[in-house]
Amino acid sequence: MEKHVKVNMNIVHDGDYKHPNRIKDNKNLHKLKALLEDKRIFLSENYKFSSAKERERLFTLARLFKPRSLSFIIMLRPSQLYSCVVYLLAKFANKYLTRDIEIIKLRASNGR
C-alpha cells in the first residue's frame, strides 16, 4: 500500500527539545548518531531508547545497513499514521530538501 505523507517545512523539528523521560545515555547516543550520520542516516536529538535491547538493535542496524539513498529514522506514533503527518529533522530537511516540497513518499526498507 502506497502512503503519501504531508511535510510541513515551517515546523521542522530542530532536535533541541529534551524529553523529561529520556534515558540518559548520551555517550552511546552520540556514538550511534555519528555512526548513522556517516551513512547519511539521521536520528533526532530527542530520540529516546525504550530499552537497552532497542539501542543494541540500532547499533547493529547502523553497522550493517548500507542505504542506496538518503535515510532518516523516526518513531511513528499511531496519530501520525492516521493524520499522515511526519516531522522531519531540521538538519536533514535543510540539507537535502527544498522549501517547495509539500508531499513525499514514505517507503519502508523492504520497498513497501
State residue 42's pLDDT score.
67
The residues facing 105 across adjacent strands are 4
For residue 29, give the C-alpha cell: 547516543
Average pLDDT across each block of 10 residues of the chain; the chain has 112 residues. List them in order: 49 41 56 73 64 74 72 68 74 80 72 68
Rounded to whole angstroms, the Cα distance separating 6 from 11 reads 12
| Domain definitions of the chain by residue range | 4-105
How many helices and strands in the chain, by DSSP H and E? 4, 4
Residue 87, judged by CB atoms within 10 A of its CB (0-12, 13-18, 19+), counts as middle
Q: What is the pTM of this model?
A: 0.41
Rounded to whole angstroms, the Cα distance separating 21 from 67 reads 31
Residue with cell 550520520: 37
